Structures are given as structure tokens and as C-alpha cells.
Amino acid sequence: MGMGRPREFDAEVALDQAMEVFWRHGYEGATIAQLTEAMGINPPSLYACFGNKEGLLKAALDRYSKLRGAWMDVVVAAPTARDVAERMLIGIAEKQTDPANPPGCLLVQGGIACGTGSENVPFELAARRAQNEDQLRDRFVRAKADGDLKPTSDPAALARYVSAVSVGMGVMASSGSDREALRQVATVAVQAVEAQSADRT
């Protein structure tokens, strides 16, 4: 028995295009017509490959998380908690205003509020954001153990804080803030982490 006709498009390339549409218009704002056009395929191919619109979003998120995860590894490799925060926030200022991508962050632009029938899309995005926050928290726990952060500091709260600033910067970027404005926010934000850092002696 044969194995059927082979797929004529590259799923990863198509996913990159879909990712961009979701990024720019959000889950609900993106239509199947826009997605299929951007992906260069017809609806039946999309549904055969990804199940439905939400399946396509999840696949796009997986791809996004994969790319972003590699970068997060670089971020948490910074030598101190302060440097982790700086590398992350300054990096976000630049990534979120990179003209190669839509402005902002897919994990925010994808959809913060959704209509009936898509209620779990915001949850899905929140879960992905939480992964980054967990990674930061683990790094800050280690920083505290190393004596890099003050004994009174709360690594989980710090991670939440950096994550919150990231999200806020993403929204600003998507509504037109330029790179310099975001860098200023990042620079100020880092000072709160600095305030939690042990004095250098």
C-alpha cells in the first residue's frame, strides 16, 4: 500500500508566515484567508496539517518558543542577576522593534482577551509567558544562593517583575514606541534589580 502524495509545501516555512499573521493581527483578528494566503497554501492543506485554527496557533507558538527559548538561554547565562535583567530587557527593546518582525511580542499580540469560543487562547499564551518567568526565577534563585542578590530579596517577585516589564514593553512597541523609548524603559527597570543586588565589596 502506498504512502500517499507528498506535501508540496514546507511546514516550517509556512508556520513562519502564519506566525507573522497572528503576531500582527492577533488570533481572532487573523482570518483563515489571510493565513492561507501568507502561507501560500489552500485551506484543506492547512486543516490537514494543523487540524484547525487553534492548532495552527499552537504550532506557531511552539516555533516561537523554540526560537525565543534559545535566546533566553543566552540571557540567563549572564554573570549576575542585574546583568540577566539588563540583557533581557535591552534585548527585548531591540527584538520588539526589529523591522524584520511585527512590533511587540507574539505571546502578547496573539490575544489578551478573546471572544466566546476562544477563551483558552489567552491562557495558552499566558502559559508560554510563564515558562520564561520560571526560567528567570530559577536564575534569580541561583543568584540569591550565590550571594549576588540580597538575602532579603524575593527571586520569584523579581522574575515576575522583569516579566511584567517585558510584557509592558511589548504593548508599547506594538502601539508605536520606538527603540530608544523602549531602551529607556529597560534602563530604568534594571535599576530595581540593581537595588536588590548585594553591594559589591
Partner DNA sequence: CCACATCTGTAGTGAACACTACATTTCTGG
Partner DNA sequence: CCAGAAATGTAGTGTTCACTACAGATGTGG
Q: Out of DNA, its own copies, none, which partner does residue 5 contact, by CB within 5 to 8 A per kind?
A: DNA
Cell of 25: 493581527
Q: Which is nearer to DNA, 3 or 100 (CB)?
A: 3
CB burial class (10 A; 0-12, 13-18, 19+) of residue 188? exposed
CB burial class (10 A; 0-12, 13-18, 19+) of residue 109? buried
Residue among 31, 120, 187, 191 that touches DNA (CB under 7 A)? 31
* Residue 30 interacts with its own copies (CB under 8 A): yes or no: yes
* Residue 28 interacts with its own copies (CB under 8 A): yes or no: yes
Using CB under 7 A as the binding rule, the residues of this chain from 120 to 159 that contact DNA are: none
* Residue 6 interacts with DNA (CB under 7 A): yes or no: yes
Q: Out of its own copies, DNA, none, which partner does residue 73 contact, by CB within 5 to 8 A per kind?
A: none
Task: Compute the residue count for the chain.
Answer: 201
Q: How far is the CB of 165 from its own copies (least distance, A)?
A: 6
CA distance 188 to 184: 6
Q: How far is the CB of 23 from DNA (least distance, A)?
A: 15
Determine what percent of the chain falls in helix, strand and coil, rounding each to the nearest 5.
70, 0, 30
φ and ψ of 51, to 5 deg: 90, -70
CA distance 21 to 13: 13
Cell of 62: 511552539
CA 65 to chain centre: 7
Q: Which is nearer to its own copies, 11 or 141 (CB)?
A: 141
Q: Out of DNA, its own copies, none, which partner does residue 184 contact, by CB within 5 to 8 A per kind?
A: its own copies
Residue among 66, 70, 100, 116 that touches DNA (CB under 7 A)? 116
Please give the residue ranges that form the binding site for DNA (CB under 7 A).
1-9, 30-33, 41-45, 47-49, 52-54, 115-116
